[in-house]
Amino acid sequence: MSHPAHPDRPAAPTTQHGFSLIELMVALVIGLILLAGVLQLFLGSKQTYRTQEALGRVQQESRFAFATLSRELRMIGYQGCAGRASLAPNVIADRDGDDIADLPFGNTTPLQGFDGGSGWLNPTPLPRIAGSDVISFRYADGNHARLSGNMASDNANIQLTHNPDQLQAGDLLMIADCLTADIFAASSVSQSGGNSEVTIAHATNRNLDNRLSKAYGPDASVMRVRHHSYFVATENATPGLYRIDGDGNAMRLVEGVEDMRVLYGENTDGGSSRLANTYRRAAAVSDWSRVVALRLALLLRTDSAVAGAPQPYSYRYFSAAAPTDRFLRRELVLSINLRNRMP
């Protein structure tokens, strides 16, 4: 005689047979699909991050480049209160036995461009990138040290009240008032004992002549002359924008610059506004004294090959190209008015 199951008594356990092979394979496939999706999402996010980071560095480099270029290019032709284009300084400097090497763009203009670098003698061992432009310019810079003595003769040593810019022998200097300016090389710089007065000589061992254009008075000041050239070159397989000074010292300002184009804004109608009414390449400039503005374009690339495939490009100032590498490139353009050419 059978007895009914007690309601509080657990049911007899059933036998567990596990998963079938088909169920395991389906579970593995689903897991692999999910893993592949997560991996693809991770790789895509990482690629996006690398691309944005590389482009961010390009943007940062461009801001630094344009801040440096803007500051210097706006100073082109500065000669103190005699800084307008109408005043050409008298140049007697001959530091290296060749005044052309010191001032290759001549004495009457502080600016000259070289289309594709043609005509510019690269004084550095750096391999300049063929086809990129070169721009050379000059300006006076400093704290306007004032004269204190020896103002009766044009060939006398120059005496200054003090030396705030730490001028030294061999420096390219300018002495100027509001009417006249001379550029010379300091053959020696000396200071009197405990006195702050400084004496600067301009002898013929560093100059073509020891006579200035006139005997300057107490209203004149002495400043250091900056003579810079900007060009694009390659170092250790990495392109960059370089600056070289009048002493032949080159330094890289911005990494990743592959090319540079410069247009020169010329005031050809003689208008009183002195604004540029046409922009030309250097070879087409008819009168450098009429150049009142610059338009400078840089072609920058990322510091790493972050693109998934080679990226062709076509910009306003750089011809269409189809590179075989995977760098990303950007064109950046800067327009600058030359304040020392403005009324």
Residue 38 located in a structural domain? no
Residue 288 located in a structural domain? yes
pLDDT tens per residue across span 26-49: 778 887 887 777 777 766 666 666
Alpha carbons 335 and 337: distance in angstroms, whole number: 7
| Count of domains forming the chain | 1
Residue 200 located in a structural domain? yes
Residue 102 domain boundaries? 54-341
**Terminal C-alpha separation, the chain:** 125
Residue 313 located in a structural domain? yes
pLDDT tens per residue across span 261-284: 999 999 888 766 678 889 999 999
Which pLDDT does position 68 carry in this prediction? 84
pLDDT tens per residue across span 219-231: 899 999 988 999 9
* AA letter at 169: A
Structure tokens at 220: 């004149």
Residue 58 located in a structural domain? yes
CB-based contact 181:89 (threshold 8 Å): yes
| Ranges under pLDDT 50 in the chain | 98-101
Q: Coil, strand, or helix at residue 35?
A: helix
Residue 37 located in a structural domain? no
Planar angle of CA 156, 160, 161, nearest 5 degrees: 145
- Residues 325-342 as b/e (b if ≥16 CB within 10 A, e otherwise) read eebbbbbbebebbbebbe
Strands 188-191 vs 111-114: parallel, antiparallel or unpaired: unpaired
pLDDT tens per residue across span 109-139: 788 899 999 998 888 899 999 999 999 998 8
pTM of the model: 0.79
CB-based contact 182:175 (threshold 8 Å): yes
Q: What is the dihedral of CA 107, 110, 115, 117, to 10 degrees?
A: 80
| Helix, strand, coil percentages for the chain (3-state, nearest 5) | 20, 30, 50
Structure tokens at 110: 């502080």
Q: Which residue is associated with the tokens 């392109």?
A: 239
Residue 335 located in a structural domain? yes
Residue 40 located in a structural domain? no
